[in-house]
Amino acid sequence: MTHAPNRAVITADPVVPHPVQVRELQVETHDTFTLTLDPPDTDQGLPFIPGQFTMLYVFGSGEVPISISGNPDSPLQLVHTIRAVGSVTRAMQEMQTGSMLGVRGPFGTGWPVEEALGRDVVIIAGGIGLAPLRPLVYHLLNRRADYGHVSILYGARSPGDILYPDELQSWGGRFDMDVSVIIDHAATDWYGDVGVVTSLLDKVRCDAGNTIAMACGPEIMMRFAARGLNDIGIPDEQIHVSMERNMQCAAGMCGHCQYGPTFVCKDGPVFRLDRIKPFFATREI
Ligand SMILES: Cc1cc2nc3c(=O)[nH]c(=O)nc-3n(C[C@H](O)[C@H](O)[C@H](O)COP(=O)(O)OP(=O)(O)OC[C@H]3O[C@@H](n4cnc5c(N)ncnc54)[C@H](O)[C@@H]3O)c2cc1C
Ligand code: FES
């Protein structure tokens, strides 16, 4: 079977959750944590493409889609970063080493890492949106010479909401990558930029005609990001966004995640902007 480079490769039966054990729960911020799970296949791990997601099932509570946030070159560690917002994600927050979860997947399309080869890359993330982009950053770092200039723009609500602050600092300390972080409102313990993440686009150094941009965050942020990227000369065909919709089957069968004529679970979550533009511009669909 052949796959387009950023298509899903489903390694497990798509509808049967595999029981996996929690290896570690790491607190990231007041409402966000990272779960490291033992993958279903302990020899192969769970290979995935940056940007793909799994369905995580808390027995007796429910199942939710969560992006894989770990290193795609280390599939023996199945890593997810989760914001506790409701019943299932709060139940996950209570888990401990040895707790059991069900996992299905990986599902969906990934970031266009092949298309970006040899080109400049602009990454724009808002809040928890950095989690699905972290595997992409690892991928680029693991093959740094294969890509052009890399810029990461990250916006968080407050200094305390900044995800992966140590990694952002270490990426920013490199000489081959630009990292800019901005928070929404001024805070006494913050000496950096304040405002919306799109205001950081002024700092980006890239050859617009030869750049691939990838964005993940609240939809309103991604709409402004797309407009800002267009303003600096990056056309819709070179912009990719990751969309979120409520899901059930994650395998293109139930229709819960319908987004215009597409299903986010199988045609996305990563879409090239020009392919979804008519409904991307619509607030609720
Ligand atoms: C492809 C994909 C990847 C995702 N990756 C991550 C991730 O890496 N980390 C993470 O923390 N979350 C991620 N999410 C969102 C996550 O699935 C939801 O937060 C989760 O389903 C909430 O479930 P719950 O039972 O805890 O909350 P619920 O009780 O179901 O909902 C709590 C609140 O969150 C809202 N909500 C629920 N589901 C969604 C959704 N899919 N999109 C937007 N709002 C929603 C509800 O309207 C409600 O306001 C992803 C979603 C998708 C579709
Ligand atoms: S979640 Fe069932 S079709 Fe996408």
- Measured over the CA atoms of residue 85, residue 198, residue 209 and residue 72, the dihedral's sign is negative
Closest ligand to residue 108's CA:
1
- Is omega for the bond preceding 132 within 30 degrees of 0, making it cis? no
Residue 55 has which token pair?
Answer: 């369905």
Which amino acid residue places its CA nearest to atom 10 of ligand 1?
A: 82
d(CA 54, CA 108): 9
**pTM for this one?**
0.93
DSSP type of residue 254:
S
Q: Give the pLDDT of residue 52.
A: 98
User: Within 10 A of 84 (CB to CB), how many other CB atoms are there?
Assistant: 16
Distant-in-sequence, close-in-space partners of 54: CB < 8 Å, separation ≥ 6: 46, 65, 66, 68, 78, 80, 103, 104, 105, 106, 107
Q: Give the pLDDT of residue 6.
A: 60
Q: Assess whether the C-beta atom of 40 lies below 6 angstroms from ligand 1.
A: no
Asked if residues 217 and 211 have their Cβ atoms less than 8 Å apart, the reply is: no
Closest ligand to residue 250's CA:
2
Distance of CA 161 to CAs 88, 168, 216, Å?
A: 21, 13, 16
Distance (Å) from CA 141 to ligand 2 centroid: 33
d(CA 267, CA 227): 23
DSSP-derived 3-state class of residue 127: helix
Give the closest residue to 49 by CA, choosing from 1, 106, 131.
106
Distant-in-sequence, close-in-space partners of 226: CB < 8 Å, separation ≥ 6: 215, 236, 239, 241, 273, 280
Q: Give the pLDDT of residue 1.
A: 38
Task: Report the C-alpha dihedral over residues 240, 243, 59, 42, rounded to 10 degrees.
Answer: -10
Asked if residues 107 and 14 have their Cβ atoms less than 8 Å apart, the reply is: yes
Angle between helices 219-231 and 273-280 in degrees, nearest 10: 120
Q: Give the pLDDT of residue 281.
A: 77
Closest ligand to residue 86's CA:
1
> Which residues pair with residue 126 across a beta bridge?
155
Distance (Å) from CA 64 to ligand 1 centroid: 7
Q: Give the pLDDT of residue 5.
A: 52
Residues of the chain with pLDDT under 50: 1-4, 8-10
Task: Please count the CA atoms within 13 angstroms of the CA of 96 that sit on its side-chain side.
Answer: 0
d(CA 39, CA 41): 5
Q: Assess whether the C-beta atom of 265 lies below 6 angstroms from ligand 2.
A: yes
Asked if residues 147 and 121 have their Cβ atoms less than 8 Å apart, the reply is: yes
Q: Give the pLDDT of residue 7.
A: 55
Q: Give the pLDDT of residue 40.
A: 78
Q: Give the pLDDT of residue 149.
A: 97
Q: Give the pLDDT of residue 3.
A: 42
Distance (Å) from CA 208 to ligand 2 centroid: 35
